[in-house]
Structure 1
Amino acid sequence: MLFHVTMDVDIPRDLDPDVRADTIAREKAYSQDLQRQGKWPHIWRVVGKYSNVSVFDVESTDELHEILWNLPLFPYMTVQVTPLCPHPSSIR
């Protein structure tokens, strides 16, 4: 199942710098592991924002839910999820 996911991040400015750095490092490692597994095939930065547009390829909505909730930055995110399906005009 494919999902379009937009993640807007808003880390509090007063968050301890060491906690911030650790959280961002864990987020990067976790997301790169999911990319290597093929579960997160696309991630695109939104210019001018601390935001990304991603495509997830997972087995179920439950799997996507678990992935998102385990993102270290999840407590600081606003997430929008849109299920995707093939378009009838696609040549693929």
Structure 2
Amino acid sequence: MNSPSRITVHAIVGLAVGSALVFIAAICSLLIALVTEWTVEIPGIISIWPTVENDARALIFDPNPLGMSIAAVAIAAVYGAVTVRRASRAA
């Protein structure tokens, strides 16, 4: 059986991993849109489209904080479930 502190640590680490993955996905989307000049969208997380302002390329992006939070929490839940299950199998 898992102690509450161990489950809390797994939840915090999972949330950090989820947040990092969402952040990396957003940055990669920005770079793809900048290089290819295509519209890039991760449904429910971020939308990015290129434009030209003052004869310079620019990106307009519309982040969805609620979608980002839900994605990070979902990744954290999967991470926590996998690590707790793996720990219980090893014991």
- TM-score with structure 1 setting the length: 0.30
The structure with more helix, counted as a fraction of residues: 2
Structure with higher strand content: 1
Q: Which protein is bigger by CA-based radius of gyration?
A: 2
TM-score, with structure 2 as normaliser: 0.30
